[in-house]
Structure 1
Amino acid sequence: MIPLKDNIPSRRFPLVTLTLIIINTLVWLFERSLGPSMENLIFAFGVTPADLFQYGLVSQLFFMTTAMFMHGGWMHFLGNMLYLWIFGDNVEDRMGKFRFLIFYLITGYIATLAHVLSDPTSTSPLIGASGAIAGVLGGYFVLFPHAKVLTLIPIFIFIQIIHIPALYFLGFWFLLQIFNQTFQGAQSVAFLAHIGGFAAGALLVKFFQKYRY
């Protein structure tokens, strides 16, 4: 399922959401410009579970932050930015700019820790905004369960576009992450980070909410 847009208009310009997308885009283009050396950048600025587990959270906070703005492939990057654009503006609208930025970073850190705890001896660097964006999805799930998400559903050679309530769209997304973590266990995709980020966002969103309508 590919989300196209939702039916909740923002009352304020989503400055932080747009800024995050711009920064992620600039970093991604820089990564691509490096060619084969891109891997060196990932190892230098990604967060390595073994290092975080050994040296502690405080010493690795810088890398936990830089890792959130890096991606490993076009689909990884484009998918994350699409979800952030569609769901981030409304969550930012309810929190205000500064609160939303802190919420985004904190849920991203929690998502990273969830992944690290699953494999604390791994020396493979973790990168991507997926954990923090999962936190945004968790926040949206709580704040706007009755919103409608215009969704593109490819079925073999057919394409269907329908409106799906956010409760079901995001609920299915969350269950899919649990399914993948349980039955696939793919190490190239940090499904546990998605689960941890989403859960953190759903639990913390009320503490960060500033505006109520």
Structure 2
Amino acid sequence: MFPIRDHNPSEKVAFVTYALIILNISVFILTVTVFQTDRDLAKLYWHYALIPDRLSSGDNPLALITSQFLHGGFLHLAGNMLFLWIFGDNMEEEMGHVGFLLFYLAAGVGAGLAQYASAPSSNVPMIGASGAIAGVMGAYLLFFPKAQVDVLIIIIFFFRIIPIPAWIVLGVWFGLQLFSGVGDSGQAGGVAYWAHAGGFLVGIALALPRWLRKGATAFWSRTDGHPPHPEARYTRIDSRIPTVRRRK
């Protein structure tokens, strides 16, 4: 089940969102072309990834920022950039370009600290933009809970795009991060679940003052929980695999 787009894209150019996507892709290309050996990657991660044990020693706090722009593989990068593309433009339009950039980086720092708190003596490097993007998703949930998000459902040869309210998509995602984090403390399984969950909550907390100034639930009443734009028209995509009906 993969979110692929929302129904209310922003009407203004999301310069910061696009710049972040380009920057992350550029850093990834540089990483795979220049740092090709395990030794090279180890040096890269030592200097720029977030390593909790080093942070506990007061060493390299800047890694809370630099780690947000490193990715461990193409799928890691692609998944993060897809989520940023879906949810980032509306939040950038809501917060403004500079405000959104500061929010994004702060959410990423909060996510890194959440992962650090789960295992402060860990030597496992943490990399990726997912914590910052989780913050964007948390803010999106607060501002636009009823926005329709198209989700691609894939079951073997069956696939279909189904619109689902954002509060369900994001709520289920957050619940999975909490559930997975309880059973995988310290990123032992290769995924920083506590960074995801922490970033999500930090994003809500950072966006809360602006939401309250907008009128809180009165803001939802005015917008019906959707971004204030006309709904986009998308061509429906269904599976061409014929449905096999059960015989009576």
Aligned-pair distance for 1:74?
1.3
Following TM superposition, by how much is the alpha carbon of 1:181 offset from its aligned partner in structure 2, in angstroms?
1.0
Question: Structure 1 20/208 Cα, relative in aligned 2: closer, same or farther at 3 Å?
Answer: farther
Distance 1:116-1:17 versus aligned 2 partners, 3 A rule: same
Partner of 1:16: 16
Give 1:63-102 correspondences, 5 Å limit: 63-102=63-102
Residue type matched to 1:31 in 2? T
Aligned to 1:196: 198
Flag the 1:39–1:60 CA change in 2: closer, same or farther, 3 A.
closer
Pick one of 51, 54, 57 that aligns with 1:54.
Answer: 57
Decide which moves more: 41-50 or 85-94: 41-50
Aligned 8 A contact 1:99 1:208 in 2? no
Provide the C-alpha distance between the structure 2 equivalents of 1:151 and 1:139, rounded to a whole number of angstroms: 19
Separation in 1 of the partners of 2:184 and 2:157?
Answer: 26
Distance 1:108 1:134 in 2: 8
Pair 1:41 & 2:44 matched? yes
Matched, 1:207 2:209: yes
Alpha-carbon deviations, 1:17-76, whole Å to 9, x = none? 000001000000011112223343122211110111121xxx633211110000011111
What is the number of residues matched between the two proteins? 210
Deviation at 1:138, TM superposition (A): 0.3
1:119 aligned onto 2:119: yes
Residue-by-residue CA offset, 1:162-193 (whole Å, 9 max, x unaligned): 00100100001100111111234452110000
TM-score, length basis structure 1: 0.93
Map 1:153-172 → 2, pairs under 5 A = 153-172=153-172
Residue 7 of structure 1: aligned partner: 7
Question: 2:41 is matched by which residue type in structure 1?
Answer: M
More helix by share: 1
Equivalent residue of 1:60, what SS? coil
* DSSP-derived class of the 1:35 partner: coil
1:108-146 C-alpha deviation (Å, 9 max, x unpaired) = 111100111111111121111010000000000111111
Report the 3-state secondary structure (helix = DSSP H, G, I; strand = E; otherwise coil) of the residue aligned with 1:19: helix
Unaligned runs of 5+ in 1: none
Could you say what the CA RMSD is over the residues aligned between the two structures, in angstroms?
A: 1.7
The whole-number CA distance in structure 2 between the counterparts of 1:83 and 1:9 is 13
Q: Which amino acid aligns with 1:180?
A: S
1:32/1:38 contact within 8 Å kept:
no
Identity level (%): 42
Equivalent-residue separation in structure 2 for 1:115 and 1:46 (angstroms): 13
Structure-1 separation of matches of 2:16 and 2:208: 19
Alpha-carbon distance in structure 2 between the residues aligned to 1:155 and 1:107: 34
Q: Which has the larger radius of gyration?
A: 2
- Report the alpha carbon displacement of residue 78 of structure 1 after superposing the two structures with TM: 0.5
Match of 2:128 in 1: 128
Alignment partners' CA distance in 2, 1:127 and 1:133: 13
What is the CA distance between 1:98 and its match in structure 2? 0.7
In structure 2, C-alpha distance between the alignment counterparts of 1:28 and 1:80, rounded to whole Å: 12
- Deviation by residue 1:67-99 (Cα, 9 ceiling, x = unmatched): 000001111110000000010000111000111
Shift of 1:158: 1.5
